[in-house]
Amino acid sequence: MKRRLKKRTIIIGSILVVLIAATITTILVVTHKPGHTIIQNTGYTTILPEGRSIVQLGGWVRVSPKDSDPVYAYADSIGGIPISVSEQPLPESFKTNSVAKVSELAKSYNASATLAIGDTTIYIGTSAKGPQSVIFTKSNLLILIKSEKKIEDAAWSNYAASLQ
């Protein structure tokens, strides 16, 4: 009986690991999927890591449905860990009391840890398996970053500060 339970637990655990890995991979390689149009201009002002161009980052890929407001993403890495960075103009509903609205959005992503970088607060959520979600606003943009693994707070701070 114990052996059967152990085997079932291993199988279920393996399936969960595969599903989580597939989901993360899909998010992180969105800019490399065939069929996605890679562009250099989103139609709105965006920010990138200082000293880097969107061409160096592989271009922008639209990650929102065609019938909704545009959200574009690019792929990068922090300390060798792949990340996907999406940016969109700050939604109208966020323009008044944006601090509270971003905090509320962060809670929905279980991003409860915070880091202050100047006047910017970034919210970080870490899953049990290590991937992280980071949410913040900068330059009138709503920014969401997904990582494949846990990234140290100092590295997140440096990356967010480098966005110009």
> pLDDT by residue (tens digit) across 50-93?
999 999 999 999 999 999 999 999 999 999 999 999 999 999 99
Rounded to an integer, what distance in angstroms lies between the CA atom of residue 147 and that of residue 25? 10
Residue 11 has pLDDT above 50, yes or no: no
- Note the pLDDT of residue 142: 97
Rounded to an integer, what distance in angstroms lies between the CA atom of residue 55 and that of residue 57? 5
Rounded to an integer, what distance in angstroms lies between the CA atom of residue 159 and that of residue 49? 7
Of the pLDDT bands very low, low, confident and very high (cuts 50, 70, 90), residue 45 is very high
Phi, psi of 16 (to 5 degrees): -60, -45
Residues 87-110 pLDDT 10s: 999 999 999 999 999 999 999 989
- Residue 47 and residue 141 in contact, taking contact as beta carbons nearer than 8 Å: yes
Per-domain residue ranges of the chain: 2-162
Would you tell me how many other CB atoms lie within 10 Å of the CB of residue 78?
Answer: 18
State the pTM of this model: 0.78
| Residue located via tokens 């545009």 | 70
* Higher-scoring residue by pLDDT: 133, 18: 133
Residue 134: strand, helix, or coil:
strand
- Note the pLDDT of residue 38: 80
Taking Cα atoms as reference points, which of 146, 97, 139 lies closest to residue 120? 139
Rounded to an integer, what distance in angstroms lies between the CA atom of residue 38 and that of residue 62? 8
CATH 3.40.1000 fits 2-162, yes or no: yes
- Note the pLDDT of residue 52: 96
Of the pLDDT bands very low, low, confident and very high (cuts 50, 70, 90), residue 21 is very low
- Residue 149 and residue 127 in contact, taking contact as beta carbons nearer than 8 Å: no
Candidate from 17-21, 69-73, 154-158 with smallest mean pLDDT = 17-21
